Amino acid sequence: MSSRVLIKNAALVTMDENRGVIDQGNLLVEDGIIKKISTGPDEIPGDVKVISGEGKVVIPGLINLHNHAAMTLFRSYADDYPLMEWLTKKIFPAEAKLTEKDVYWGTSLALLEMIRGGTTTFVDMYYFMEQTARACQEGGIRAMLSQVFIGAENSSRGFNTLEDAVKFIEDWQDQDNRLIQAILGPHALYTCPPDFLERVLKETEHLNTIIHIHLSESRDEVEQSLESHGKTPVALLDDLGMFERQVIAGHCVHLNDEDVQILSEKGVGISHNPCSNLKLGNGIAPLQKLLENNACVGLGTDGAASNNNLDMFEEIKLCSLLQKGILADPTVIPARTAFELATRGGARALGMDGSIGILKEGAMADLAVIDFNKPHLQPHNDPVANLVYSASANDVETVMVDGKILYEQGEFLTLDEEKIYHEAQECAKRLRQ
């Protein structure tokens, strides 16, 4: 396959404040990089695959900041349960049966869904992470993967230890891999007590890696922390010095004003997961307030068991609509802001602003082409509003990561769709028994 791709005469939603939306532009990809963005007729270089952009919109690949990819196996397996019953009677017992094979096929199914939906980078936390990494390598997606661990051993859930997690990171740092980054995943404050987290921070200082953690997801979590430690989870992690490192904090729903200030000042990368937060009854995060305080926010789906899909377009629409609705103000989180969260917001949270989540010369060629020849994307009044308020994952036609096309016109070029459906189905059948 040619390493050069030219998308011709497409609308380009660059997310670059200098370029804005280019109504009709050409985008040339070479060696994994966006080599040139131009307007008007342009000469076509030799040895290049040309994609006609007529009626199409090119966007930076979407960035999913919080996922448990292999949990696609538990999609629609146990919905509408009270939270503790859901966890203890349904999810934990099923997860106790998980094998490496399950994680491999569950992740592969998640990759089909994410790639097909325009997601080009995701952050994950789960078990058997080397299997997740293997699936990601095959799929060709960009991923930050954390082997989840907790402070106390709990054999029935088969949690990893800190040592397992460190080994996973060291193994991957030894490899020369452009796309996969192993990061640190302490599960949450309520499963990792403060003294354990102190040890974690000390023992992983040399690793210089992103930390991925659940934070202030439920009201109970915050109340427990106030009761046990006299502090909110955010204030406590700040005290421990965690926010001197680069952190992706999943959820951040129940925040007081001081929490908002800490998260904003320390530049903590917040994964706002509106679907999951509603579905599990956790509520609505103060997104507008976070943005007013210049917090670093991106979007995530959480795992498919609590969403139940990995459609970033749903998160984009919902994050805007929810704030409008609860603040009784239709002007908050306008379309461009919502779309920015899923692109540059995610990139900033990962310390990769300028490299991903943006279409500009020199940035990595992670992008998606959306076909606007669909009833719900007509007429062409405003492409960004159409993307935010009307599009869905299903509208994505072509997806490229690092200059390589992974999905095109309904076909997966790196993954075996039918085999993955079959194997994931077999895994799910065994797990739910």
Site for its own copies in 83-102 (CB under 8 A): 83, 86
Member of 395, 399, 400, 406 binding its own copies (CB under 8 A): 395
Q: Which of residues 131-190 bind its own copies (CB under 8 A)?
A: none
Q: Alpha carbon of 141 to those of 218, 251, 398: distances in Å?
A: 31, 23, 14
Q: How open is the CA angle 367-115-428, to the nearest 5 degrees?
A: 165
Query: Could you say whether residue 275 binds its own copies (CB under 8 A)?
Result: yes
Query: Could you say whether residue 427 binds its own copies (CB under 8 A)?
Result: yes
* CA dihedral sign, ordered 90, 92, 98, 102: positive
Q: Which stretch binds its own copies (CB under 8 A): 37-45, 164-172, 176-184, 379-387?
A: 379-387
Question: Locate tokens 């109504």: which residue?
Answer: 23
Query: Could you say whether residue 76 binds its own copies (CB under 8 A)?
Result: yes
* CA dihedral sign, ordered 35, 311, 337, 347: negative
- What residues have CB less than 8 Å from 192, skipping those under 6 apart? 149, 150, 151, 186, 200
Member of 3, 88, 175, 378 binding its own copies (CB under 8 A): 378
Size of the site for its own copies (CB under 8 A): 75
- Smallest gap from residue 376 Cβ to its own copies (A): 4
Q: Kindly provide the b/e burial profile for residues 84-106, where b requires at least 16 CB atoms within 10 angstroms of the residue's own CB.
A: eebeeebbeebbeebeeebbbbb
- Whichever of 149 and 190 has its CB closer to its own copies, that residue is 190
Member of 146, 160, 273, 309 binding its own copies (CB under 8 A): 309
- Smallest gap from residue 151 Cβ to its own copies (A): 27
- Smallest gap from residue 26 Cβ to its own copies (A): 23
Work out the burial of residue 411: count CB atoms within 10 Å of its CB; fewer than 13 is exposed, 13-18 middle, 19 or more buried: exposed
- The pair of structure tokens assigned to 395 is 């509208």
- Whichever of 82 and 362 has its CB closer to its own copies, that residue is 82
Member of 147, 209, 216, 277 binding its own copies (CB under 8 A): 277
Member of 390, 408, 413, 414 binding its own copies (CB under 8 A): 390
